[in-house]
């Protein structure tokens, strides 16, 4: 994919997220690894529904701002994921409704906040650890994610939202939507008795 194609894809996916209510205002940010080894990211304060392909931020993996508008302050934790996970080619961070609601609950399992009850979250995302609350842009977000990178494909930031990585921006976007749908099901089911997948059923899905 050329850089221009990557820019167009980011604009299109950002608009899709915004139009369908996955992102509001200037919340959330996207990034992807370009063929030249640099990162393309949404600028600080930008609305995902109004991205300009020529104004997207371009930075080095070390954080040097190359071109475009100033990158989001959260580019630091994006960089931490790329630098510590060789399979990470894109990152989607959203404050989507149900995942953000889930991130505000007490008593979540820090190792995996979504106990499997559908096959798709297991196959597409796997376990979802919880990163402790830090204010947006705090360097400790990057530090904690760097320790988890490479072992997980998705993370829940306490009182904040979700972070999902992928081998492409499209994959990261699709997996973010699967995760949001799973969180929506959790709130839809409420306190009803849930038939969770057994350990054997989960193992069979993971083996695929």
> Which one, of 96, 87, 2, lies nearest residue 40 by Cα?
2
Catalytic, 74? Answer yes
SS3 state of residue 190: coil
Catalytic, 9? Answer no
- Among 9, 22, 74, 82, the active-site one is 74
First to last CA, the chain: 28
**C-beta atoms surrounding 174 within 10 Å:** 16
CB–CB of 66/38 below 8 Å? yes
Token couple for 124: 């597409």
Token couple for 169: 């921006």
Phi, psi of 30 (to 5 degrees): -125, 155
- Among 120, 143, 171, 181, the active-site one is 120
Token couple for 193: 């008795």
Rounded CA separation 197/18 (Å)? 33
Q: How far is CA 19 from CA 7, 49, 162, in A?
A: 18, 7, 19
Which residues are catalytic, by number?
74, 120
């Amino acid at each position: 994919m050329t850089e221009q194609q990557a820019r167009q894809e980011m604009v299109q996916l950002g608009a899709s997220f915004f139009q369908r209510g996955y992102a509001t205002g200037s919340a959330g940010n996207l990034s992807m690894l370009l063929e030249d080894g640099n990162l393309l990211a949404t600028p600080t304060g930008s609305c995902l529904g109004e991205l300009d392909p020529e104004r997207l931020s371009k930075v080095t993996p070390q954080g040097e701002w190359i071109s475009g508008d100033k990158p989001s302050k959260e580019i630091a934790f994006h960089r931490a994921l790329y630098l510590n996970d060789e399979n990470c080619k894109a990152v989607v961070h959203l404050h989507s409704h149900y995942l953000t609601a889930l991130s505000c609950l007490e008593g979540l399992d820090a190792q995996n906040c979504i106990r499997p009850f559908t096959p798709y979250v297991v196959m597409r995302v796997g376990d979802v650890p919880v990163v402790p609350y830090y204010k947006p842009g705090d360097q400790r977000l990057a530090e904690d994610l760097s320790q988890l990178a490479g072992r997980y494909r998705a993370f829940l930031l306490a009182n904040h939202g979700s972070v999902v990585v992928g081998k492409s921006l499209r994959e990261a976007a699709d997996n973010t939507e699967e995760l949001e749908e799973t969180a929506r099901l959790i709130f839809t089911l409420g306190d009803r008795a849930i038939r969770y997948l057994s350990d054997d059923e989960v193992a069979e899905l993971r083996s695929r």
